[in-house]
A and B are shown apart, each in its own frame.
Chain A
Amino acid sequence: MISKKIKSYLIFSFSVLLFLFTSACDDLVDESPVSEIDPENFFTNNNDALAAVIGIYDGMQPTFRLKHYLWGEFRGDSYINGNDGATSNNIELTSNDVTSGNGNAVRWNDFYNMINRANEAIVNIPQIEGFDSNLLAEALAIRAYAYFQAVRVWGGVPLFTEPTRAPDGLQRPRTDAQTILNEVIIPDMLAAEANFDEGRLADEFRFSLTSIWALQADVYGFIGDDESARTALMKIVDSGRFRLTESAEEWQNMFLNDDGDPFSLVVESDGPLKIQTGPELIMSLRFSLDESGTANRSGIFTLFFAGIPSYTLSPALENKWIEKFPIDSLGWVTRYPDTDPVLILPDPTDENPANTTTFYGDFRYYLCREGFVNLEANGVGAARLAKYNKANYNAGLDDSDIVLYRYAHIILYLAEIENRLGNPTRALEIVNEFRTARQLPLVDAVEFGASEDERELFILDERQLELVGEGQRWWDLRRTNRALELLNPILDTLSTGVPLTQERLLFPIFDEHLLENPMLDQTPGY
């Protein structure tokens, strides 16, 4: 009797167990994410599309926060090594001795991260029923912008136009620059233009028609299609949305992100933290303290105004500036008897604010230079660029916007192209329009130059002074193919300078990329 009972218990308990063993195993194991979404289930409506496009801009922030300048600014002739103790990664840009271990300048992490986000948007937004073509246009514009940077920086790079969803097939060789230009950059930038509504003419912080035209002009100029570049530039001019600034203060306010305002009567003014507005700003990469995380700070003062500066303004640049616009009254009056200098400031040592001092020279020189009107504090070659900020502060608090396109660039670029297309008169007209807006003396045909070459060099100088610190100079030299001609004489005088070669106009591929992807070849010359 008892053993029967045991038997039934046994059978019962084992059958319960058996049931548990066999049924519902998989259901008990599987689980699905709560706070993240599977990419396969995304892109269902225009809100998703907008979120994905914002994600690409979010990827642009860390990509360009320093590289915009490391790529376009420091290899030019506007800076010298600011301090013996500066990091070799920074110094080697000014001496044009870029090495393949310089991760700051040539690493791809953020860059391709942004491209992958763009690819997600470009491939998936059109699958949404009734999708907003403006969003697709923005994604296309960013991808074109990104690959254009890549082609300018490295020449050929591995080409990804589909989103990465699986871990295979990720090692690819470099696709040559021409193919990327013809098959990705140009089609993308034209498709972007076509997909924008007319209403999206301008947007200060996101791609719009005017900024895509600016990109088109840069691309056409880079491949030597000046006609097309002019067409694109004229579209911006004709849009009527922008004008040149007309006062020193208005000019400064496009850049300044500091609480010290040189135009304030109080010596240590407690002005607004960030201004960075103006009628010339076509498109900037926006940074804001409201966003969390250091990837959302441009932190560009670490390049231009670090406590131990890597870069100071080069004597070549300062001498050019002083020579063109003398800073002594005699020099100025002799050269420009009809033009009054702009900077007339109250004397800080005088109690009566009506007593003023006149500072001769180009106001931009003072506004760009550490120490403002106090030129003695840092001699020629020892001053940091103070266009964005005038004090050294925490990188985590530097939310300076990065100006990608500005009207002055458009105008001076148009002058450069008109000159090349055989319209020197039109080019001079434009230069003088620009000089007028800057309240600087006008240029006559003699000063402008007799030959196309001389005129081009003149315009390049105008651009260098106006656009210093905006990541343009190196591209100007590349576009006009003058890097070797203008830089090698300077590099010869530097102890660490390495003469440029045609090959080394490009940047090297980062060492670790070569390790991770054996199909990659190093840029020739490195």
Chain B
Amino acid sequence: MSAMVLFFVAMSSFVRAQEVSGTITDINGEPIPGVNVVQKETTNGVSADFDGNYSIILVPGSQILVFSSVGFISKEITVNGTTVDVILEEDTQNLDEVVVIGYSQIPREKVLGALSSVKSEEIVQVTPTNAFEGAQGRLAGVQIATNGGPGAGFDIRVRGTSTFSAGGTGPLYVVDGQQLDNIDNIDPNDIASLEVLKDGATTAIYGTRGANGVVLITTKSGKSGELNVDVNIVTGINSLNGAIPVANTAQRLFYEDVRRTDSQRENPTGNQRDSLNLLLRNSFDLQELITRAGFRNQVNVSLSAGSEKLKGYWNVGFLNEDGVVVNSSFRRINTRLKLDFTPNKKFAASTNFNASFEEFSGLNESQVFQQLVERIAYFPVLEPNGDFTPEIAGRQNPLAEANLRQLRLRTWRGQSFNDLQYNITPTLSIKSTLGINFRLRRNNDFQPLLVLNPRNTNPLGSIRDRIDYDIQQENFVNYYEEFGKHSVAGFAGMQILRRFREEFGISNALFVSEDIQTFNNVDPNGLAINSDQTFNTRSNIFSLFGGFRYDFDNKYLVEAAIRRDGSSRFGDNQEFGYFPSGSIGWRVSNEEFLKGSAIVNNLLIRFGYGETGNDRIGDFEFTSAFEPGAIYNGISGVLPTRLGNPDLSWESTNQTNIGLDLGMFRNRLTLAVDLYRKDTEDLLANVPLPEESGFGSIRQNVGAVRNQGIEIALGGTILTTKNFSWNSNFNITFQENEVTRLAGGTAFQSGDYIIEEGEPIGNIFGFKNLGVFPFSESNAFTDDGVQLTPNFDAGGEFVNYTLNGQEFTGNVNQLRNDGRVLEGGDIFWDDIDGDFVITNDDRQVIGNGLPLAFGGFFNDFTYKTISLSFLLDYTLGNDIWRRWDELRNDLNSANETPGPDRIEGAWLNPGDITVYPRLNRVPQNRDRPNSFFVTDGGFIRLRFVRLGYDVPKSALEQLGFLKQCSFFVSGNNLLTWTNYPGYNPELGTRGNPLQPGLDNLRFPNDREVIFGINLKF
């Protein structure tokens, strides 16, 4: 910019008072209101009116007018006549934009780390209920998967899985400077921009909380000027997407018949004796009965206004969303008030207050969904009098469970963040901040008698309160100065974070009756405190930090920072950790040979290295502990609950990032490529101890994991004419995960997943199913394990074995499993140790739940005032273990029904060549995981299609009071291309990083059609 100033200074030659007027439009010819028109090097300036018209009387001095407006590239025009019409181009590069990383501002173009961002306009396109719904598929390197169900939140994974700790995978959220662990309560309409810091160099300034990436959220602020009122009204209708095939009564009866033994067949069953039994006419489609079309209503009203000294923004939002399953819903009411004071040049202060109430009404997923797919189709669900049928044969009626059980989670949250800045000199400032974050979560559960086991004499009720609050206080100085082509910035300061948690829980209290569901109706003898849910704890982090940034002519850039964190979560031996970072960048486009190039307008090559930590473990795991909670014979006692590890330390991540930013054709085409390698050492895990010590495990720093990958984001304006434009964005991330070291090299299991050196996290460890033996005689192998071919005569009698066409007379071995020789119709298991007995030693890796690639593809078409946009996102190369399908097909209980394909496709008679084994109840069906139930979980999803219409400005002018009026209709999750047969291939891990892709059946996915109106006054 300064170069351009020099260029134009020479231009002014004559001095003359003169009035100049004109119209300012964008490239489509639409007038741009409120553009600042300033006579260069003077204080003379005006604003254009609502129609883009301006008029200015020039004073003596420069004859150049500068036209500037937020979101457009400023233009300088030498006055040459009395009419100057200007066309401003939209600024796609946003050179003036700044990002606050850590404790200092940095122009976005000078960021040397890997940063992905989404803007408010992009977020609202998907009509989200949650900030991350708006970011899905948009951020290279950031995997966002829904956890299922209304209000259930999202699983955010920045650059892979770099921790073993449950609940330790989420990034750190920084909302306008306030550091938070969770932002589910933020109204997506409040967000101005959402940035994800992915690399080590930019996240290192967040020290011990930065290892999983950092999400920066900037909320909207008031702007100087008149009152702006923005109203959004959204209505959506959602419905079940993809029902699971379930066996009907006819299939069930066939299954029952096949399962009967010969001796049982001699006596007809009750069903056979009473063939007109009304029960058998039942064939309920439970999924149909339990789902519904749900509605979403979302209303937002925001006000913003301001003067030079005080700017304000106030938003109130309301959301009510029904789940597709009866009796489930999510409700949120939130309000945010943000005030910025700048009383004079020395002081600046701001306060940001956000309050929200969220209410989630749901159902017990494990009780309902498994029942939906395995309940006997003829079991009644309603009694003749209209009541729900109670438990039959130990099987809960899922309709009763869904309709009658009251499961609620309510969350009250308040966040306040305040800062005060004093500018000591124009280049040096000191800033203090104070943040308070409060969250109360209350779970209520009430189970009326009908949904309980018939032995229960009282209804049961539970309550659980969790209060979390933290206080964050920071003091730091910032320095920034430019000397000619050199610019230097530095900062230093301290932060204190104190976190508190108080929990209280009562589980399954015996209620006197169902009439009153509050705890004044509890039988005093039936009240038991849940000691696991009742405790107080707290932790502190004390941090010191500093850093500097330097660049020469925006061509050679260098940055470094260091942070020292002290955490109360670690013992005196390991209390403090140091987290340094450094990066360098070379803006090739500012070199002489590229400067002014018509093709490449920006090319930055950057390299960064940084260390970060992760401290997400319990609060006092470095000490041993006794806790109350033991009860015997009515007396309370204590028990040792933990063996402390005084040497416990943080997980530390070293990350190297090499990146390239390319802008071509005035940024009509942008490309960002990042390569990273992220090595996490000292992984915190519960390491098994010899159980004879009295403890099962101890928290230790045990291993190392490496995540590496490539992220590519390509964006551009493909077409732009006066009336039509087409923008497109594509991103893809390839990533790889490897456990590089484990303590002692010993593999360990997390459920049915195995974690081994040299292998990625997420390996499903089970038995490989090689098919089904058509004949009992097919179970025959040579000593080397080569399968023999049985031969039969015309009468079906076994004759002999052949091997490669030759009769085999040697030793015949047969596979055994669970104490029996496998027969015709049994599964041919892979016997990897070659001992012909299928045991735990025959387990192998049969799939992996981590994706190899993911990303999104976005397109936006605008024709005059009509716009059409859609987003496809995809996840490829991951497996899902259909645990729910395996469970219903294990034939373990007579009261569960296998899937229809299992029944229809089962082995029935010798010689049948089938996909599924016989229907007899043999223990081998329960060997799990069975590779048959591990399937490819990749998918491509049409996340949304949206058609928008803006009422033309000319029409609005006649109304007078309306500045903007748009309507849209859109569809979310309309189509999914996948081979996965469950409800939803998009499975958040719900906090457990070691078991990705485990589907126990959760809240089904919905498909939503949305209508919305946006009004601006």
Q: Give chain A nearest CB distance to B57 CB in angstroms.
A: 37
Say yes or no: is A20 at the interface (Cβ < 8 Å to chain B): yes
Q: Give chain A nearest CB distance to B431 CB in angstroms.
A: 11
**Segment among A80-88, A244-252, A454-462 that sits at the interface with chain B:** A80-88
Partner of B424, one of A10, A60, A292: A10
A170 contacts which chain B residues (CB < 8 A)? 689-690, 692-693
Contact present for B626 and A36 (CB under 8 Å): yes
Contact present for B630 and A58 (CB under 8 Å): yes
Contact present for B528 and A120 (CB under 8 Å): no
Which of A87, A170, A171 has the most chain B CB atoms closer than 10 A to its own CB? Answer: A170
Contact present for B746 and A35 (CB under 8 Å): no
Q: Give chain B nearest CB distance to A104 CB in angstroms.
A: 14
A87 contacts which chain B residues (CB < 8 A)? 923, 926
Contact present for A36 and B627 (CB under 8 Å): yes
B637 contacts which chain A residues (CB < 8 A)? 50-58
Q: Give chain A nearest CB distance to B429 CB in angstroms.
A: 10
Q: Give chain A nearest CB distance to B375 CB in angstroms.
A: 16
**Segment among A67-75, A160-168, A189-197 that sits at the interface with chain B:** A160-168
Contact present for B694 and A112 (CB under 8 Å): yes
A13 contacts which chain B residues (CB < 8 A)? 424, 430, 477
B698 contacts which chain A residues (CB < 8 A)? 167
Listed A/B pairs (28) with beta-carbon separation below 8 Å: A14-B477, A17-B494, A20-B544, A21-B494, A26-B575, A28-B496, A31-B568, A31-B620, A33-B537, A35-B534, A36-B535, A36-B642, A37-B625, A51-B638, A55-B640, A56-B637, A84-B920, A85-B923, A97-B819, A109-B691, A112-B692, A115-B694, A116-B695, A259-B455, A273-B455, A292-B528, A296-B631, A516-B690
A161-199 vs B, CB cutoff 8 Å, 1 = contact: the mask equals 001111100111000000000000000000000000000
A6 contacts which chain B residues (CB < 8 A)? 424-425, 428
Q: Considering the chains assembled together, what is the distance between the CA atoms of A35 and B626 in angstroms?
A: 9
B932-946 vs A, CB cutoff 8 Å, 1 = contact: the mask equals 000000000000000
Number of chain B residues close to chain A: CB under 8 A:
84
Q: Considering the chains assembled together, what is the distance between the CA atoms of A496 and B492 in angstroms?
A: 75
Q: Considering the chains assembled together, what is the distance between the CA atoms of A86 and B891 in angstroms?
A: 12
**Inter-chain pairs besides A16-B475, A61-B632, 17 sampled, C-beta below 8 Å:** A17-B475, A17-B492, A20-B475, A30-B575, A36-B642, A50-B637, A51-B630, A54-B632, A57-B632, A58-B630, A84-B921, A85-B891, A88-B818, A91-B819, A112-B693, A286-B633, A513-B691
B502-519 vs A, CB cutoff 8 Å, 1 = contact: the mask equals 000001100000000000
B568 contacts which chain A residues (CB < 8 A)? 29-31
Contact present for A116 and B693 (CB under 8 Å): yes
Say yes or no: is B635 at the interface (Cβ < 8 Å to chain A): yes
Contact present for A51 and B636 (CB under 8 Å): yes
Say yes or no: is A223 at the interface (Cβ < 8 Å to chain B): no
Q: Considering the chains assembled together, what is the distance between the CA atoms of A404 and B631 in angstroms?
A: 19
- List B904-947 residues whose CB lies under 8 Å from chain A: 920-923, 926
Say yes or no: is B567 at the interface (Cβ < 8 Å to chain A): yes
Say yes or no: is A526 at the interface (Cβ < 8 Å to chain B): no
Say yes or no: is B542 at the interface (Cβ < 8 Å to chain A): yes
Say yes or no: is B795 at the interface (Cβ < 8 Å to chain A): no
Q: Give chain B nearest CB distance to A302 CB in angstroms.
A: 12
Taking CB as reference atom, which chain B residue is nearest A159? B692
Contact present for A36 and B641 (CB under 8 Å): yes
Contact present for B624 and A39 (CB under 8 Å): yes
Given A55-B638, A113-B694, A292-B507, A25 and B530 touching (CB < 8 A)? no
Taking CB as reference atom, which chain A residue is nearest B638? A51
Q: Considering the chains assembled together, what is the distance between the CA atoms of A2 and B620 in angstroms?
A: 51
Q: Give chain B nearest CB distance to A375 CB in angstroms.
A: 18
Say yes or no: is B892 at the interface (Cβ < 8 Å to chain A): yes
Say yes or no: is A214 at the interface (Cβ < 8 Å to chain B): no
A39 contacts which chain B residues (CB < 8 A)? 624-626, 640
B812-837 vs A, CB cutoff 8 Å, 1 = contact: the mask equals 00000011100000000000000000
A353 contacts which chain B residues (CB < 8 A)? none
Say yes or no: is B643 at the interface (Cβ < 8 Å to chain A): yes
Taking CB as reference atom, which chain B residue is nearest A61? B632
Contact present for B635 and A50 (CB under 8 Å): yes
Contact present for B693 and A20 (CB under 8 Å): no
B640 contacts which chain A residues (CB < 8 A)? 39, 55, 116-117, 120, 163
B631 contacts which chain A residues (CB < 8 A)? 54, 58, 290-292, 296
Taking CB as reference atom, which chain B residue is nearest A114? B694
Q: Considering the chains assembled together, what is the distance between the CA atoms of A65 and B633 in angstroms?
A: 15
Say yes or no: is A34 at the interface (Cβ < 8 Å to chain B): yes
Contact present for B540 and A31 (CB under 8 Å): yes
- List A93-130 residues whose CB lies under 8 Å from chain B: 95, 97, 101, 107-109, 112-113, 115-117, 119-120
Q: Considering the chains assembled together, what is the distance between the CA atoms of A366 and B492 in angstroms?
A: 84
Q: Give chain B nearest CB distance to A390 CB in angstroms.
A: 13
B526 contacts which chain A residues (CB < 8 A)? 290
Contact present for A307 and B540 (CB under 8 Å): no
Contact present for B633 and A28 (CB under 8 Å): no
B688 contacts which chain A residues (CB < 8 A)? 512, 516
Say yes or no: is A157 at the interface (Cβ < 8 Å to chain B): yes
Taking CB as reference atom, which chain B residue is nearest A56? B637
Say yes or no: is B791 at the interface (Cβ < 8 Å to chain A): no
Q: Give chain A nearest CB distance to B325 CB in angstroms.
A: 25
Contact present for A38 and B623 (CB under 8 Å): yes
Say yes or no: is A308 at the interface (Cβ < 8 Å to chain B): yes
Taking CB as reference atom, which chain A residue is nearest B530? A292
Say yes or no: is A42 at the interface (Cβ < 8 Å to chain B): yes
Say yes or no: is B790 at the interface (Cβ < 8 Å to chain A): no
B645 contacts which chain A residues (CB < 8 A)? 167
A324 contacts which chain B residues (CB < 8 A)? none
Taking CB as reference atom, which chain B residue is nearest A53? B637
Contact present for B567 and A29 (CB under 8 Å): yes
Say yes or no: is A346 at the interface (Cβ < 8 Å to chain B): no
Taking CB as reference atom, which chain B residue is nearest A24? B542
Contact present for A29 and B630 (CB under 8 Å): no
- List B568-605 residues whose CB lies under 8 Å from chain A: 568, 575-576
A20 contacts which chain B residues (CB < 8 A)? 475, 494, 544
A392 contacts which chain B residues (CB < 8 A)? 394
Say yes or no: is A424 at the interface (Cβ < 8 Å to chain B): no
Say yes or no: is A354 at the interface (Cβ < 8 Å to chain B): no
B530 contacts which chain A residues (CB < 8 A)? 292
Q: Considering the chains assembled together, what is the distance between the CA atoms of A52 and B819 in angstroms?
A: 44
Contact present for B566 and A172 (CB under 8 Å): no
Taking CB as reference atom, which chain B residue is nearest A174? B692
Partner of A101, one of B394, B525, B839, B893: B839
A59 contacts which chain B residues (CB < 8 A)? 630, 639
B751 contacts which chain A residues (CB < 8 A)? none
Say yes or no: is A9 at the interface (Cβ < 8 Å to chain B): yes
B544 contacts which chain A residues (CB < 8 A)? 20-21
Say yes or no: is B29 at the interface (Cβ < 8 Å to chain A): no
Q: Considering the chains assembled together, what is the distance between the CA atoms of A61 and B639 in angstroms?
A: 13
Q: Considering the chains assembled together, what is the distance between the CA atoms of A13 and B429 in angstroms?
A: 10
Partner of A513, one of B430, B692, B893: B692
Q: Considering the chains assembled together, what is the distance between the CA atoms of A31 and B424 in angstroms?
A: 36
Q: Considering the chains assembled together, what is the distance between the CA atoms of A1 and B286 in angstroms?
A: 84
Q: Give chain B nearest CB distance to A297 CB in angstroms.
A: 12
Say yes or no: is A517 at the interface (Cβ < 8 Å to chain B): yes
A495-525 vs B, CB cutoff 8 Å, 1 = contact: the mask equals 0100000000000000111011100000000
B182 contacts which chain A residues (CB < 8 A)? none
Say yes or no: is A44 at the interface (Cβ < 8 Å to chain B): no
Contact present for B690 and A171 (CB under 8 Å): yes
Say yes or no: is A206 at the interface (Cβ < 8 Å to chain B): yes
B892 contacts which chain A residues (CB < 8 A)? 85, 308
Which of B567, B626, B634 has the most chain A CB atoms closer than 10 A to its own CB? Answer: B626
Which of A29, A32, A119, A513 has the most chain B CB atoms closer than 10 A to its own CB? Answer: A29
Q: Considering the chains assembled together, what is the distance between the CA atoms of A163 and B639 in angstroms?
A: 12
Shortest Cβ-Cβ A-B pairs, 8 listed: A116-B694, A54-B637, A58-B630, A35-B535, A31-B568, A29-B566, A57-B632, A85-B921
- List B10-45 residues whose CB lies under 8 Å from chain A: none
Say yes or no: is B419 at the interface (Cβ < 8 Å to chain A): no
Taking CB as reference atom, which chain B residue is nearest A292? B528
